[in-house]
Amino acid sequence: SDAAELLKYYEVYDTIGTGGFAKVKLGRHILTGEKVAIKIMEKKNLGEDLPRVKTEIETMKNMSHQHVCRLYHVIETHSRIYLVLEYCPGGELFDYIIAKAHLSEEETRVFFRQIVSAVAYVHNKGYAHRDLKPENLLIDDDHNLKLIDFGLCAKPKGGLGDELMTCCGSPAYAAPELIQGKAYFGAEADVWSMGVLLYTLLCGSLPFDDDNHMALFRKITRGKYWNPPWLSSDSILLLKQMMQVDPKRRLKVGQLLDHPWMMKGYSSPVEWHTRQPLGHIDDDCIIEMAVHMKRSKQSTMHLVSEWKYDQTTATYLLLLAKKQSGRPVRLLRYI
């Protein structure tokens, strides 16, 4: 069966989320004991979107960053594609904000610096996310944020507005130029969405909201919104600079990294470079794998360096995640 290949390496538990054409289940990697998120896609439901999934997989293989969800394993069977991804036990930022009504400026700053770090990294890789919203920001076991792109919206930066409604589902976060179907720059549209995100963190509500689609579009293109009384003048200024209707007047990501609001209480700009470069091979993980596979360290190093996103890649990356979370770099020995 399709699940046979998956069940060779993972225990599969209940569904933690669904969306579009994917279902996500909680799983556990048997060899390392680490929890994972398993994104399950039926090929027949993907239809002409299948190439976009392939592009998404290539994009993910190219991303390794402390604030971007990691891809561990790709399993393709006759009728399904399984993506084994980093599991975030804290759930969606969306639910976190709801639970707290809104966040303090200080707590918002900690999270927002992580969001800017992830987006600056994605942009530097030549992609625009295009669907930045609290449902696509997850909380990990260290209470840090991880960016995901659940709806396959990330595209090369210079994207056109053609996939207007297909993948940018929630217009509430979409930039004016994007919902008007104009040709736009992905990086500029992402800055607008980050402005809306910052607003929802600080205010606990959307700056532009309306049940009627047309009324919502009008509010977004007008760009006027209410500032709650608890906002500091610095926060009001930053929001204004990010939610500029004219994309050319909008703040650039580069200006966000050391913006005065971002620097309050910090001595250095946002660090957006990755702390886990793709090519880096960790010695402790290689040694544990070599012992387990009864192979030399050298041949284990070569096998891992092929980055085939198979069981070997998954085992290495999950051992590395264990090490980074302070858990012992050990593989299960009794199977």
Binding positions for ligand 6PV, rule: CB under 6 A = 16-17, 19, 24, 37, 39, 59-60, 63, 68-69, 85, 87-89, 91-92, 122, 127, 129, 135, 138, 147-150, 154
Phi, psi of 28 (to 5 degrees): -135, 130
Tell me how far, at minimum, the Cβ of 76 lies from ligand 6PV, in Å.
Answer: 16
Question: Are the C-beta atoms of 234 and 264 separated by less than 8 Å?
Answer: yes
Whether 131 is a known active-site residue: answer yes
- Looking at beta carbons only, is 64 or 235 nearer to ligand 6PV? 64
Tell me how far, at minimum, the Cβ of 106 lies from ligand 6PV, in Å.
Answer: 25
Question: Are the C-beta atoms of 307 and 314 separated by less than 8 Å?
Answer: no
DSSP string, 56-94: HHHHHHT---TTBPPEEEEEE-SSEEEEEEE--TTEEHH
Give every CB contact of residue 4 below 8 A, 6+ residues apart in sequence.
Answer: none
286/309 Cα distance (integer angstroms): 16
Instruction: Tell me the pairing of strands 22-29 and 35-42.
Output: antiparallel
- Looking at beta carbons only, is 192 or 225 nearer to ligand 6PV? 192
- Looking at beta carbons only, is 139 or 238 nearer to ligand 6PV? 139
Of 318, 245, 331, 251, nearest to 70 by C-alpha is 318
Tell me how far, at minimum, the Cβ of 94 lies from ligand 6PV, in Å.
Answer: 8
Tell me how far, at minimum, the Cβ of 90 lies from ligand 6PV, in Å.
Answer: 7
Active-site residue (options: 2, 49, 95, 131): 131
Distances (CA, A) of 225 to 25, 44, 102, 192: 38, 43, 17, 13
Tell me how far, at minimum, the Cβ of 64 lies from ligand 6PV, in Å.
Answer: 11
324/311 Cα distance (integer angstroms): 20
- Looking at beta carbons only, is 19 or 158 nearer to ligand 6PV? 19
Give the type of residue at 192.
W
147/153 Cα distance (integer angstroms): 13
- Looking at beta carbons only, is 82 or 87 nearer to ligand 6PV? 87
Q: Which residue is nearest to ligand 6PV (CB)?
A: 17
Q: List the catalytic residues.
A: 131
